[in-house]
Chains A and B, each alone.
Chain A
Amino acid sequence: MGSGSGWKGRDVISILDFDRDSLEQLFEVADKFSSLLRERGRIPLLEGYIVALAFFEPSTRTRLSFETAAKRLGADTIGFTSEEAISIAKGETLADTIRMLDSYADMIVLRHRYEGAALYAAEIAEHPVINAGDGKQHHPTQAMLDLYTVRKLFGTIDGLTYGVLGDLRYGRAASSFILALTIYRPRMIYLISPPLLRVRPEVRMVLDERGMRYREVESLEEVLGELDVLYVTRIQRERFPDQREYEKVRGSYRVTLELLEQHARRELRILHPLPRVDEIAPEVDGTPYAAYFEQARNGVPVRMALLALIAGREV
C-alpha cells in the first residue's frame, strides 16, 4: 500500500485490517482537514454523496460525529436511530435492511450490538460499510481517532508505555485500542483490569502473535508511574455477576488528581472514549493530564478523512 490506492471503496470492519502506511495516510489527511476546518465550515469534497447512518444501537456521540463529518464534506445523510431501528427491524432481517440502504446510499455506517454484524453487512452490501461499533470487539474508527490523538500529543505512537484501564473484556473501545497498538511498536502495554474483565483470548492471541510486550495487572498504582498514555474506559455495573465485586473495583479505578500527583509522570496523558461516569474525577479535567476532550474533538477530522479516502477524494 502506501499510496492512496488502498483506501478507495474499502470496508472498515476491524482496525487490524489496516497497516501503518494506510493509517499514516489517514492521519495526514485528518491533519489537513483539521486545519482547513479552522478556516471554513465546509470542505465540499463529497457533494452529491449520500451516507447512510444505520444505528441499531444507541450511540449519540458516534452518530453525531459521523453525521458532522459527512455534512462538513457536503454529503447528505440518511438513516435511523436505535428507536426507529426497532420498528424497521420488526419482521425484517439485517440483511434486508442493508440491501435497502445499499440501494439508496453511497456508503453505510453501521452500529450494531451483535459481533460480526459489520462484516456480515459488508458481505451483503456493494457499497463500502464502515463499522461504527459492533458487539464487544470492534470499533475501528474510535481506534483510529485514539491513535491519531496519541500521535498528535507525542509526535509518535511507537516507543511509548501504555496502560489500558477498565473493562477490557466487553468494552469495544478498549479492545479496539489494544488491537490498534499491535500495528505499532509500543514499549510496553499494561492491561489493567479486575480478573473478571481481562482481555478476551482472541485479543491476547493477537498480542502474542505480534510479539507485543504486555502485562496483565490489577492495580493501577503499581504501574501508573511508568505510563505515557493511560486509556481509561468505563466499567459497567451490569457486567458483574456479584455487585460487591463491582463496588470493590469501581473504587480502585477512580483516577483522581491526588493519585496522579502522587504517582504519575508529568508527561502522562489520559484518554477516554467518553462518555465517562466517575472513572476520572472532574478536577483532572483542567490539568495537562486530560487529553480526552481533545481526543473527542479529533473524531470529526479523522472521520472526514476516512469518508473522503473511501470515496476516493483527496484534498
Chain B
Amino acid sequence: MESGSGLLVRRIREGTVIDHIPAGRALTVLKILGITGREGARIAVVMNVESRKLGRKDIVKIEGRHLSPEEVDKIALVAPRATINIIHDYRVVAKRRVTVPDIVEGILMCPNPSCITRVGREPVKPRFRVVSRQPLVLQCVYCGTLVSEEDVAEQLAEGG
C-alpha cells in the first residue's frame, strides 16, 4: 500500500488508513471526521510524501475508528482519488475507492447569499450537481452558482 511512506509511521492494528489525499488536505480530512486529537485515539498524519499517482500526497491513519458512508462522501469532495483501507489485525482487509456522487445533497452550503437554500426557515436542502470531477466543480441546482474544489475544501475545513 505505502512502501516508502509506510516507514515513517508505525502500522496500526485496527482502524482506517486514508491514502492518496491531495497534499495539504490531511487536516481538512481530520476536520471532516471531527478529529481534534483530544479523543485519545492514536492518529498518524503524514503530509507531503511522494506518490506515483499524485506527485505529493497526504495520508491519515486512525486507530480504532471506521468511517460512516456520509463521512466517506465528504472525504470524496476534498480528496476525490482517496483510497480507504480498513485495517484489521495489522492487515488491509478491505480497500475502497471514494466516489464523488452525481448529486451532492445536504453536505455543502451554497456560497451565493441570495440562493433560496440560504433563506432562513425554508425547508430546502442545498443540492449540487457535479459538473466536472477533475478538477471537481459543483453547481448549485437551485441558483446555478459554480463551486470549485478549493471552495469546497475551504468550506469543509471551516465546518466539521
Contact = CB atoms under 8 A, between A and B. Distances in A.
Chain A's interface: helix, strand, loop or mixed, by majority?
mixed
Interface stretch (B15-23, B49-57, B93-101, B117-125): B117-125
Given A202-B144, A202-B146, A205-B146, A117 B116 contact: yes
Contacts of A205: 131, 146
Contact of B116 (A115, A136, A200): A115
Interface in B136-157: 139-146
Contacts of A202: 139, 144-146
B115 interface: yes
Contacts of A120: 116, 122, 124, 142
Contacts of A200: 144
A285 to B, nearest CB: 34
A162 to B, nearest CB: 21
Contact of A119 (B122, B131, B141, B146): B141
A102 to B, nearest CB: 15
A205 to B, nearest CB: 7
Contacts of B118: 114
A259 interface: no
Given A116-B140, A201-B146, A202-B146, A95 B122 contact: yes
A16 B140 CA distance: 15
Contact of B144 (A114, A115, A117): A115
B121 A119 contact: no
Contacts of A119: 116, 141-142
A137 interface: yes
B114 interface: yes
A135 B123 contact: no
Given A135-B143, A201-B146, A202-B144, A115 B122 contact: no
Given A93-B121, A93-B122, A94-B119, A114 B141 contact: no
Contact of B115 (A93, A115, A201): A115
A113 interface: yes
The residue among A114, A116, A201, A202 with the most chain B CB atoms within 10 A of its own CB is A116
Interface string B105-117: 0000000101111
Given A114-B114, A114-B115, A117-B116, A94 B146 contact: no
A95 B124 CA distance: 9
A201 B138 CA distance: 12
Contacts of B112: 115
Interface in A87-140: 93-95, 112-117, 119-120, 134-137
B108 to A, nearest CB: 15
Contacts of B141: 116, 119
A115 B146 contact: no
Contact of B122 (A94, A134, A136): A94
A171 to B, nearest CB: 14
Contacts of B143: 114-116, 135, 137
A135 B142 CA distance: 11
Q: List 3 tightest A-B contacts by C-beta distance, closest first.
A: A116-B142, A115-B143, A116-B116
23 contacts: A93-B121, A93-B122, A95-B122, A113-B114, A114-B114, A114-B115, A114-B116, A114-B119, A114-B143, A115-B112, A115-B116, A115-B143, A115-B145, A116-B142, A116-B143, A117-B116, A119-B141, A120-B116, A120-B142, A134-B116, A136-B114, A202-B145, A205-B146
Interface of B: 112, 114-119, 121-124, 131, 139-146
Interface of A: 93-95, 112-117, 119-120, 134-137, 200-202, 205
